[in-house]
Amino acid sequence: MRDWNEKTAKTFDHMAEEWSRKSDDMWEMGSRKTILPLFMRHVPPMYGPVLDAGCGDGYASCRLATDGYQAEGVDIAGEMIRLAQQRAEKMGFKIRFQTGDISNLPFADQTFAGILSINVIEFTPSPLKTLRELHRLLRPGGVLVAGILGPTAGPRGHSYRRLYDETTIQNTMPWEAKQLAIENGFELLEEEPVYKEGVPSELADRLPVDLQEALSFLTLFVLKKK
């Protein structure tokens, strides 16, 4: 696990500057544009503090703060955290960002009303342990919005080297993560596939859920703590 986490941190440290340059487009016009509206619909700001688990360069945390949320961010990559702090300071927000492993976080039980975790669970060595940790941190009835990369996502290439028996930093697929969550204390409230450009919605919307997941670039799951 330690080797996995060290490799993950190094990978995302290396990607941080380029990632940050693309953040605005991803969250406002690209593959992540539906995520924050979905989260805000299920977790209004008056419900309590929220955690951006795998916060990257802090874009979502800062957007949430803009809308009145008490947000905190954690990420395994120190360079991402540096950029997140820089972003928050530039916008005038005092958001607490820290490095950490989201499967073992330094927060008390039932701290958060909501948790946002996008393209993070599949980059942990144990998605089961991670989901149990996020469940621990949620208040009763709290909501986790998790995004899991689908089969058509380019970043799935991180797992390719496993075919050469090399250590990789990528794990579960959408249907597996959903089932794992349901079997470990969560109730599925909503599921929303995100497709690459070129997938006609009139076709995709008619497909069964499992085929939508198979076609997805990313699948969003709204999960309520039982």
Domain boundaries, the chain: 2-225
For the chain, give the mean pLDDT.
Answer: 94
1 pLDDT higher than 80:
no
Model confidence at 196, pLDDT cuts 50, 70, 90, reads confident
Report pLDDT digits (tens) over 117-169: 999 999 999 999 999 999 999 999 999 999 999 998 988 998 999 889 988 88
Report pLDDT digits (tens) over 49-77: 999 999 999 999 999 999 999 999 999 99
Distance (Å) of CA 151 to CA 74, 155, 176, 198, 212: 26, 9, 12, 15, 11
Q: State what percent of residues in the chain have pLDDT above 90.
A: 84
The predicted model gives 165-188 an average pLDDT of: 94
Report pLDDT digits (tens) over 13-38: 999 999 999 999 999 999 999 999 99
The model's pTM is 0.95
Residue 65's pLDDT is 97
| Class of 2-225 in CATH | alpha beta
Model confidence at 212, pLDDT cuts 50, 70, 90, reads very high
183-187 contacts, C-beta under 8 A, 24 or more apart: 184/128, 184/131, 184/132, 184/135, 185/132, 185/135, 185/225, 185/226, 186/131, 186/135, 186/144, 186/223, 186/224, 186/225, 186/226, 187/223, 187/224, 187/225, 187/226
